Amino acid sequence: MNGMKVVFAGGGTGGHVYPGVTVARTLLERDPATKVVFIGTRKGLEADVIPREGFHLSTIEVAGFRRRLSPDTLLTAFRACKGFIQSLAILRREKPDVVVGTGGYVSGPVVLAAWMLGIPTLIHEQNALPGVTTRVLSRVASAMAVTYPESARYLARKSRVVVTGNPVRKSILTADRREGARAMGLDPGRPTLLVFGGSQGARAINEAMVAALPDLLARRGDLQVIHQTGRRDHAWVVAELEARGVDRKRLPRLVVEPYLYEMDMAMACADLVVSRAGAISIAEITARGLPAVLIPFPGAAEGHQERNARALEAAGAAVVILQSELRGDVLRDTVEELLDDRARLERMSRSSRSLGRPDAADALADLVVRLASRRRGLRPEMRSAR
């Protein structure tokens, strides 16, 4: 469908940014004439990632509502109204064929504005338990894509729900171990541990890793470690490691970065992952079939990260450590036990891969094209969303 224009709305974290980027790239691969615009904020991760990915970003002013009343509630409500008006202006200017909301408070005013203007809308929910924004938007969305079948019971208009899975970047699926190790400056023949706490990092994971790392490196002379700390904690982690005698300048097998733009390469050379249990992290881990130690963020809305983590644990793909139980020695012993048991790692890898949905980006792209075609009054032949 030549000349289709799609607006993606979502932001704040990688989990709400990268799904849109992945589907946008899938649409462009199918038809290079497709036009793509992203809507987000100036403060979210999208302000950095979207321009870096080569897409145009239009910004609005909006903030998430707190779960209890506070002096900021009125200001947040004012911003929401302003964001809605700004969304109307952007959509009138861009005239998209379809609007895709990828989650977070940014998608709310944009999808509502699209509905008011009669533009078809698709919302994508990454977690097993849909967030408040998704539940509200499900009353007006033209279609809803979910990762887990059980999500449908929380949404209005269940007949419009399609199970697609979470889209992952194609490079996550195609990067090989040697390529990944080369990009990270590591040896592809050595066991590699990848540690990250989501796009913004996680202080609890960083603290446990700082405590565990000296023993891990001392006991396992062959171990390589890639640690994404988040920008806020990077200087602190480096200083703490140096205080504990870990000089990363003399350890080429230790990579400590504030943010990994090449997460595809890091995952390609990893044998074991330690991470939060955000939806996109889970999607990428299972798409690669990686064993994992998952530490769910306890503050996630309605405990959705623990739900994600327990699903992998039940399938035998992950070990779950609650943050309340996380200490340096607990993390060290868990990692050592897994790395010392190759047979178990292989079983976990098979289980992880069985949960992955490598076709999710294509399924979502199918839905986008279908909605855009409906607006144009076309009925092209295409694959049904899986």
Please write the tens of the pLDDT for every residue from 290-335.
999 999 999 876 678 998 899 899 999 999 999 999 999 999 999 9
Quote the DSSP letter at residue 250: G
Of 124, 155, 153, nearest to 138 by C-alpha is 155
Instruction: Answer with the residue of higher pLDDT: 366 or 311.
Output: 366
Instruction: Answer with the residue of higher pLDDT: 40 or 303.
Output: 40
Give the pLDDT score at 148. 82
- Sign of torsion, CA 148 149 150 153? positive
- Sign of torsion, CA 217 219 222 228? negative
Condensed to tens digits (0 to 9), the pLDDT of residues 123-147 reads: 999 887 888 888 989 999 999 999 8
Instruction: Answer with the residue of higher pLDDT: 282 or 14.
Output: 282
pLDDT band at 383 (very low <50, low <70, confident <90, very high): very low
E strand or H helix at 122: strand 121-125
Q: Tell me: pLDDT of 75 over 70.
A: no
Count CA within 13 A, CB hemisphere, residue 362: 9
The answer to which of 4-18, 230-244, 255-269, 370-384 has the lowest mean pLDDT is 370-384
Domains annotated on the chain, with CATH: 5-168+358-376 (3.40.50.2000), 171-355 (3.40.50.2000)
Whole-number Å distance between alpha carbons of 372 and 354: 32
145 - beta bridge partners? 124, 162
pLDDT band at 3 (very low <50, low <70, confident <90, very high): confident
Q: Within its chain, how far is the Cα of 240 from the centroid?
A: 28
pLDDT band at 74 (very low <50, low <70, confident <90, very high): very low
Burial category of 202 from C-beta neighbours within 10 Å (exposed 0-12, middle 13-18, buried 19 and up): buried
Neighbours of 327 (CB within 10 A): 14
Instruction: Answer with the residue of higher pLDDT: 101 or 133.
Output: 101
Q: Tell me: pLDDT of 67 over 80.
A: no
Is pTM beyond 0.85? Reply is no
Whole-number Å distance between alpha carbons of 287 and 114: 32
Give the pLDDT score at 385. 35
Q: SS3 of 162, please?
A: strand
pLDDT band at 69 (very low <50, low <70, confident <90, very high): very low
SS3 content of the chain, % helix, strand, coil (to 5): 50, 15, 35
